Chains A and B, each alone.
Chain A
Amino acid sequence: MAKKPQDLAVTGESGEHEYETGIAVVTADKPGDPGIEPHRVRMTDKSAKHERAAARQVAALFSVSIIGSIFSIWAYYAFPFNNSDAASLRINTIFLGLGITLGLFGIGVGAVHWAKTLMPDAEVSEERHQTRGSEEVRARAVEIIKLADQESGFSRRKLIRRTLYGALALFPIPAIVLFSDLGPNPKDSLRHTMWGQGGLRLTRDPDGTPIKASDVQLGAVFHVIPEGLKDLEAPSMLNEKAKAAVLLVRLDPADIKSQREKDWGYDGIVAYSKICTHVGCPVALYEQHTHHLLCPCHQSTFDLADDCKVVFGPASRPLPQLKIEVDADGYLVAPGDFAEPVGPSFWERKA
Chain B
Amino acid sequence: MSNVSATKKKGGFLAGTANYLDERVGVAGILKEFGRKIFPDHWSFMLGEVALYSFLVLLLSGTFLTFFFQPSMTEVVYDGVYGPLKGAHMSVAYASTLNISFEVRGGLLMRQVHHWSALLFVAAAGLHMLRVFFTGAFRKPREINWVVGFALFVLGMAGGFTGYSLPDDLLSGNGLRIIDGMIKGLPWIGAYTSSLLFGGEFPGNQIVPRLYSLHIMIVPALIIVFLAVHLFMVVIHKHTHYSGGGKKDTNVVGYPLMPVYVAKAGGFFFLVFGVIMLTASLVTINPVWNYGSYDPSPVSAGTQPDWYIGFLDGALRLAPTGIETMVGNDTLSWNILLPMIVGVGFLVVVALYPFIEGWITGDKREHHVLDRPRNAPTRTAIGAAGVTFYATLWAGAGTDLIATSFKMSLNNVLTFMQIFLIVGPFIAYFITKRLCLSLQRKDREIVLHGNESGRLVRLPHGEYIEVHEPADKYQVWKLTDFKEYQPILARPNEKGVITLRSRIRASLSKMFFEDRVSPVSATELEAAQHHGELH
Contacts and interface: CB of A to CB of B under 8 A. Distances in A.
Interface of A: 1, 3, 5, 11-13, 19-25, 27, 29-37, 76, 80-81, 83, 89, 92-94, 96-98, 100-101, 104-105, 107-112, 114-116, 119-121, 123-128, 130-131, 179-180, 182-186, 189-190, 205-206, 223, 225, 234-235, 238-239, 241-243, 245, 274-276, 278-282, 284-285, 296-299, 310, 312-317, 343-351
A13 to B, nearest CB: 6
Nearest to B199: A183
Interface in B497-529: 509, 513, 518-525
B109 A93 contact: yes
Given A19-B366, A111-B267, 16 more contacts: A1-B521, A29-B522, A30-B521, A34-B246, A94-B282, A104-B270, A107-B267, A125-B252, A126-B238, A131-B236, A280-B184, A312-B414, A345-B336, A346-B331, A348-B329, A350-B330
A42 B245 CA distance: 20
Interface in B470-491: 473-474, 476-477, 480-481, 483-488
A229 B174 CA distance: 20
A80 B105 CA distance: 8
A313 B202 contact: no
Contact of B331 (A3, A96, A347): A347
Given A34-B474, A131-B366, A242-B202, A347 B316 contact: no
B38 A33 contact: no
Contacts of B532: none
Contacts of A92: 105-106
Quick one: which of B41, B73, B263, B410 has the most chain A CB within 10 A?
Answer: B263
A94 B281 contact: yes
B109 A281 contact: no
B232 to A, nearest CB: 13
B321 interface: yes
Interface string B246-259: 11111111111001
Contacts of A284: 297-299
B353 interface: no
Given A23-B513, A184-B200, A105 B270 contact: yes
A119 B73 CA distance: 56
A350 B197 contact: no
Contacts, number: 394
Closest 10 CB pairs of A and B: A97-B281, A22-B362, A279-B181, A111-B267, A108-B270, A316-B324, A36-B246, A108-B271, A104-B274, A344-B181
Given A25-B484, A93-B109, A279-B181, A238 B245 contact: no
A21 B139 CA distance: 13
A245 B297 contact: yes
Given A37-B244, A97-B278, A115 B324 contact: no
B229 interface: no
B184 A346 contact: yes
Interface of B: 37-38, 41, 73-75, 81, 89, 101-103, 105-106, 108-109, 112, 141, 174, 177-178, 180-182, 184-192, 194-206, 236-238, 244-256, 259-260, 263-264, 266-274, 277-278, 280-282, 294-303, 313, 316-324, 326, 329-333, 335-336, 360-366, 368, 399-400, 410-411, 414, 447, 473-474, 476-477, 480-481, 483-488, 509, 513, 518-525
Contacts of B192: 183, 185-186
B133 to A, nearest CB: 20
B282 A30 contact: no
Contact of A31 (B189, B362, B480, B488): B480
B349 to A, nearest CB: 22
A29 B271 contact: no
Contacts of A130: 366
Quick one: which of A25, A81, A279 has the most chain B CB within 10 A?
Answer: A279
A35 B246 CA distance: 4
A239 B202 contact: yes
17 contacts: A1-B524, A19-B364, A30-B481, A32-B473, A108-B267, A111-B263, A126-B38, A126-B252, A131-B237, A183-B206, A190-B201, A225-B297, A279-B316, A297-B299, A299-B317, A344-B184, A350-B329
A76 to B, nearest CB: 6
Contacts of B273: 104, 108
A281 B248 contact: no
Given A185-B195, A280-B177, A296-B299, A316 B277 contact: no
Contacts of A278: 181, 316, 335
Contacts of A239: 200-204
B267 A109 contact: yes
A296 B250 contact: no
A10 B63 CA distance: 53
- Interface SS of B by simple majority: mixed
Contacts of B361: 22-24
B251 A128 contact: yes
A186 B194 contact: yes
Given A94-B282, A97-B109, A126-B252, A347 B187 contact: yes
Contacts of B299: 281-282, 284, 296-297
Contact of B277 (A24, A35, A100, A124): A100
B101 to A, nearest CB: 8
Given A125-B246, A316-B322, A282 B368 contact: no
B266 to A, nearest CB: 6
A36 B483 CA distance: 20
A89 B108 contact: yes
Contact of A183 (B112, B197, B254): B197
Contacts of B298: 223, 282, 284
A37 B474 CA distance: 7
A255 to B, nearest CB: 22
Contacts of A127: 250-251
A104 B204 CA distance: 43
Contacts of A21: 362-365
A282 B303 CA distance: 12
B519 A30 contact: yes
Contacts of A297: 174, 178, 299, 303
B303 to A, nearest CB: 6
A96 B109 CA distance: 8
Given A31-B525, A111-B263, A313 B324 contact: no
Contacts of A111: 263-264, 266-267, 270
B295 A238 contact: yes
